[in-house]
Structure 1
Amino acid sequence: MSLQSAKKSYKAIYTYLLITIALSTVVWLLTLNAGNTGRIGGRIYGYGIMWCPALATYITCKLLKIKFSGLAWQWGKPKYMIWCYFIPLIYALISYLIIWTFGWGGFYNKAFVTQAAHELGWSKLPQSVFIILFFIVEGVIGMFGSMSTALGEEIGWRGFLVPELSNVTSYTKTSVISGVIWAFWHYPLLIFGNYNEGTPPLYGMACFTMMVISISFVFTWFRLKSNSLWTGVMLHASHNLFIQAFFTPITTNTGHTAYFIDEFGVVVPAMCLLLAIYFWTRRREVVNLVTV
């Protein structure tokens, strides 16, 4: 890459990050001011914060005369999308099987299952049958809602930031830098808000940070390999859906469960670290694939 092209990428990265922080700060303050936001506030502010990276990308493109339509909107090869759907499901399933097997959390949360069955009007079904049907319905229909929020972040992180970083540095550094930025972007709500599942703040932040940086190796690999931002959307949506909407709520507390489950316990981040190591060993497969 020429020095001029590198300067353009650095300028794009810095501009994007400054605008993302500025926009996100507004939503952070609104969220923190609301306190315990509840269902309505959580939905509105949740969508708001997750779409800040997308809006920042659009503004950056306009300011720097970059084609917003050139952000790898193409769907790409179906095999990559299939893998991006199933990889989070696989590592989430393995993580929670470990948790349930060692008694760090219990299977299953009868109160959650009963409430969910009542809300869906499926109370007459045997709970074992309901759990299977609920898993299938969430895994199919729930993906549309999950993708609608994940898209906002992924337009920014993998649609814009990752390819710009890959223009000026290696796959490994792109994964680490984008992962650190992505993790830090969550810190205001982790530190001052209620974005945690009950672990001490420092412990939860450490687990969350390890998970985000580790999983960034997977996100970056698929983004560069497929040249499609939709791989990030699929990975992100699948991760959020299966962990937050199924495995965590269906797990019972056996005493210290919060230290092991979800994004703020140790098991899922450990699985993501193993995945990061695996995809790092395949880093040469994505060298110089992106020229945007």
Structure 2
Amino acid sequence: MKNTSTSKVEIRKNIATYLVLTLLFCLPVYYMCIRTGKLGGGIISYATIVMWCPAIAALLTCRLRNIPISSLGWKWGETKYQLLAYGIPLLYSLVPYLIIWISGAGHFYHQEFVTDMAKGMGWNLPDVWAIPLYILLMSSFGMVRSVGSALGEEIGWRGLLTPQLAKINSYTATSLWMGVIWSLYHYPLLLFSNYNTGGPKWLALTCFTVMIMASCFIFTWIRLKSGSLWTAAIFHASHNLFIQSIFTPLTADTGTTNYYIDEFGIALPIATVIVAYFFWRKRKELPEQKI
């Protein structure tokens, strides 16, 4: 008979090893972001570097703790879950932005952004054509670049950490732990660099934390249900793409818009909590995570 207590101890050691390594790899990047006050660093993006720290930590943890790299969830899985992963962020971001635009909390569209975007693309098109063409290209080919960044985090967070936590915790507890850890990972960037939309820090911190905590219920469900880290990578990439590269840039400020838009305003966390509750209700559909 398997010694469950020993197995749980080993899993906790796996988790602790991963978290310590992630912190050690992130610290130098945090330092540079705090020192410069920026996520970018000339031709080097600190954001990209810090997003790949979890992946490096995960691979090293596998090496040190004799965890098979194949256990991280490299198989594609069922395509329906990949499509779900792409569509969920579109749903919970599009609805709040439509409400913001219709209510006047933000204006559609940002003329200066559209003009600069079209000029940069070499387009001589009216806005009525340039905007949908931009959205089409970003939501398709733009996903390739977005997945490239998101994959770095997801190899660690959902490839290694989520399954390890799920072996010794319930779905709810796993999601909450992931929400706390993932929030803390972002805090140095949010508090001490330009990783926000310019609103009050307290509001940005509150809204971002609620959104992250809620999204982890979705991430955990789709990762455990599909058995594939690619669902998490696509989910993460889709979230970043639609919010950071499409809806927020297309929204013009009407005075208090920063209080409502992006990951740091009040609209997105509300929508994410609603969607997260739907997945929490479906928690009994998840397969049992064996130690």
- Give the aligned residue type for 1:27: V
Once residues 154 and 63 of structure 2 are traced to their aligned partners in structure 1, the CA distance between those partners, rounded to angstroms, is: 18
Instruction: Please name the residue that 1:99 is paired with.
Output: 100
Within the candidate set 18, 21, 30, 2:20 is matched to 18
Question: 1:32: how far off?
Answer: 2.1
Question: 1:95: how far off?
Answer: 1.1
Comparing 66-75 and 29-38, the one that deviates more: 29-38
Match runs of 1:111-122 below 5 Å:
111-122=112-123
* Contact map agreement 1:105 1:253 (CA 8 A) in 2: yes
Match runs of 1:91-170 below 5 Å:
91-122=92-123, 124-170=124-170
Question: 1:37: how far off?
Answer: 5.5
- Give the aligned residue type for 1:264: F
> Does residue 236 of the first structure (1) align with residue 221 of the second (2)?
no
Instruction: Please name the residue that 1:265 is paired with.
Output: 265
Question: How has the CA–CA distance of structure 1 residues 66 and 38 changed in structure 2, closer, same or farther, with 3 Å as cutoff?
Answer: closer
Instruction: Please name the residue that 1:249 is paired with.
Output: 249
> Does residue 284 of the first structure (1) align with residue 284 of the second (2)?
yes
User: Please, what is the CA RMSD of the aligned residues?
Assistant: 1.3
Once residues 200 and 39 of structure 1 are traced to their aligned partners in structure 2, the CA distance between those partners, rounded to angstroms, is: 24
Q: How many residues align?
A: 289
Instruction: Please name the residue that 1:89 is paired with.
Output: 90
- Give the aligned residue type for 1:219: F
Once residues 28 and 39 of structure 1 are traced to their aligned partners in structure 2, the CA distance between those partners, rounded to angstroms, is: 12
Instruction: Please name the residue that 1:76 is paired with.
Output: 77
- Give the aligned residue type for 2:197: E
- Give the aligned residue type for 1:11: K
Question: 1:46: how far off?
Answer: 1.3
- Give the aligned residue type for 2:180: V
> Does residue 171 of the first structure (1) align with residue 175 of the second (2)?
no
Once residues 40 and 237 of structure 1 are traced to their aligned partners in structure 2, the CA distance between those partners, rounded to angstroms, is: 23
Instruction: Please name the residue that 1:8 is paired with.
Output: 10
- Give the aligned residue type for 1:120: M
Question: 1:251: how far off?
Answer: 0.1
* Contact map agreement 2:38 2:194 (CA 8 A) in 1: yes
- Give the aligned residue type for 1:271: A
Q: What TM-score, normalized by structure 2, do the two folds share? A: 0.96
Once residues 23 and 278 of structure 1 are traced to their aligned partners in structure 2, the CA distance between those partners, rounded to angstroms, is: 35
- Give the aligned residue type for 1:167: K
* Contact map agreement 2:38 2:195 (CA 8 A) in 1: no
Comparing 214-223 and 25-34, the one that deviates more: 25-34
Question: How has the CA–CA distance of structure 1 residues 254 and 121 changed in structure 2, closer, same or farther, with 3 Å as cutoff?
Answer: same
Instruction: Please name the residue that 2:61 is paired with.
Output: 60
> Does residue 208 of the first structure (1) align with residue 205 of the second (2)?
no
Once residues 263 and 275 of structure 1 are traced to their aligned partners in structure 2, the CA distance between those partners, rounded to angstroms, is: 15
Gaps of 5+ in 2: none
* Contact map agreement 1:74 1:228 (CA 8 A) in 2: yes
Corresponding residue SS for 1:263: helix
Corresponding residue SS for 1:252: strand
Once residues 42 and 232 of structure 2 are traced to their aligned partners in structure 1, the CA distance between those partners, rounded to angstroms, is: 27
* Contact map agreement 1:57 1:160 (CA 8 A) in 2: yes
- Give the aligned residue type for 2:212: V
Question: 1:96: how far off?
Answer: 0.3
* Contact map agreement 1:171 1:287 (CA 8 A) in 2: no
Corresponding residue SS for 2:45: helix
Of all paired residues, the percent bearing the same amino acid is 46
Comparing 168-177 and 23-32, the one that deviates more: 23-32
Deviations, residues 53-75 of structure 1 (Å, cap 9, x unaligned): 00010111111111122211000
* Contact map agreement 1:23 1:56 (CA 8 A) in 2: yes
Question: How has the CA–CA distance of structure 1 residues 37 and 168 changed in structure 2, closer, same or farther, with 3 Å as cutoff?
Answer: closer
Runs of 4+ in 1 over 4 A off after TM superposition: none
- Give the aligned residue type for 1:4: T
Once residues 36 and 171 of structure 1 are traced to their aligned partners in structure 2, the CA distance between those partners, rounded to angstroms, is: 36
- Give the aligned residue type for 2:49: G
